[in-house]
Amino acid sequence: MQRRVFQVLMAIATVPIACSNAVVVTGDAGTDSSVLAPEPFCASRPNLQFCEDFDGAGLPGQFTEKTELGGTFAVDTSTWSSPSKALLVKTVAGASETKIVLTKAFAAGKKLRLFGQIYVEQRSELSSSLTEVYALNFVENGATYRVGIAVSGTGAWFAFEEGALATPIASTFAASTAVPEKEWTSLRLDVDFEAVEKGTLSVKVGSDTVVEKASLRPPFITQGPTLAVGLRSVSPASGEWRVRFDTLNFAID
């Protein structure tokens, strides 16, 4: 009887078992192993309002437009947060202006949540102005208002608020912790509008809140944002930047 049970167990141990997003393969006794087959980020989260993990074909992908001024985009397979591709954005040293961004317009809302993974591979320490990575752009009757996240050439990170208005707005909020370089890290931007001239902005790097409820002064709140992700700088590029993005998702309510 014991010999029969042993034979049955050994027969079961050689059969692969598939369960949702994992395949478990068991070999000889004492050499069991489990191999996870991770699912693409967006395909496994169909309920997200907007999601782009760059695993589909071509750009702009789930975005509407792409702009390549002073640099280039590439869908890259050398490193990613979610298999098997990520967006690589590269600047060109010496360009008079850098605007390498993917954009998409959304309807208006009071709670805006942007989350993604970022990998800063190379940063130019010669950059004289901030380089934006996330931005939410608003326009009403020719007036513009923008909020987002940017990094300096020295590696300091900031949230920003700016408006081209009769009374210009130009504020930066220093992050208490920088985004680590040469590793994948989550970067989140939360914006809440309560009323005209009243709002807050928060930033998280990984699990750390690095800007917490900084006060905003939105001049209008009835217009929807245009989301921009990539690299943007208004000063001449003095060196090359290489930054990757993955698993971008945006929600507005």
pTM (predicted TM-score): 0.84
182 vs 143: CA distance, rounded Å = 38
Q: What is the pLDDT along the chain (253 residues), one digit of tens a residue?
A: 434 433 433 343 332 322 223 222 233 334 344 455 567 899 999 999 999 999 987 899 999 999 999 999 999 999 999 999 999 999 988 888 899 999 999 999 999 999 999 999 999 876 668 999 999 999 999 899 999 999 998 899 999 999 988 788 999 999 999 999 999 999 999 999 999 999 999 999 999 999 999 999 999 999 999 999 999 997 766 678 999 999 999 999 9
Q: Give the position of tokens 């707005």.
A: 169
Output phi, psi for 13, to 5 deg: -65, -15
Q: Where are the domains of the chain?
A: 2-36, 50-252
Does CATH number 3.60.21.10 belong to domain 50-252? no
Token couple for 187: 């970067």
